[in-house]
Structure 1
Amino acid sequence: MSSMRTLLNSCGLLAVLGVGYGMWSMISPGEERRKELIKNLPESNPVRMEETRKRNALVMQALKEAAETNDNIARGLGGPAK
């Protein structure tokens, strides 16, 4: 009886794994869709990539300036608290 239960459990596990793989293969994009998605990524457009680099540089500069100051910038734009 124990071997029969083990066999049924193994078959059930394999069936669940098979159903999961089948569902995954149904929803995953095909090769054409994958190429289209890669083509439309922001990294593929040089102008947009340069804008992203500039924006990242400005954010890093702002973070560096904030780290170097003793003012608590979380309190607002009024300068140091009185």
Structure 2
Amino acid sequence: MALDRRWPLALARGAVPVALGLLLWVAIAGGEQERQQTLKAQPGGDTASLTQRRRHNELIMAALREAAETDENVAQRRVPWRK
């Protein structure tokens, strides 16, 4: 059985997009360390801001949990409400 002349052309046509995608991935992934350093240098990346943000998220989740557990409309409560 002789090798069909279309096979090498089909393999090349299939390999070119894969090779292009691999080259683009390598080019983009090369700057990952620089991106991590940039993210660390942004304002709000320090420990105090992160703990404050976590506390804020905990309060929001507690309010959502309470709203899910009750039948009353918590959005209609008076503004200075406390648990």
TM range (shorter): 0.5 to 0.7
Matched-pair contact (CA < 8 Å) for 1:42–1:49: no
**Larger helix fraction of residues:** 1
TM-score, normalising length from structure 2? 0.65
TM-score (structure 1 length as normaliser): 0.65
Work out the percentage of aligned pairs sharing the same amino acid. Answer: 29
Shift of 1:33: 0.9
Structure 2, unmatched stretches of 5+, are: 79-83
Q: Aligned residue for 2:76?
A: 77
Q: Which structure is higher in RCO with an 8 Å CA cutoff and minimum separation 6?
A: 1
Q: 1:43 to 1:17 in 2, by over 3 A?
A: farther
Count of residues in correspondence between the two structures: 77
Aligned alpha-carbon RMSD (Å): 3.1
Map residues 44-59 of structure 1 onto 2, 5 A cutoff.
44-59=45-60
Superposed displacement of residue 56, structure 1: 1.2
Deviations 1:11-59 (A, max 9, x none): 1111111112222323334255144135237885211110111111111
The answer to which of 2-11 and 35-44 deviates more is: 35-44
Instruction: Return structure 1 stretches of 4+ with deviation > 4 angstroms.
Output: 41-44
Aligned counterparts of 2:52 and 2:70: Cα–Cα separation in 1: 27
Match of 1:21 in 2: 22
Structure 1 residue runs without a partner (length 5+): none
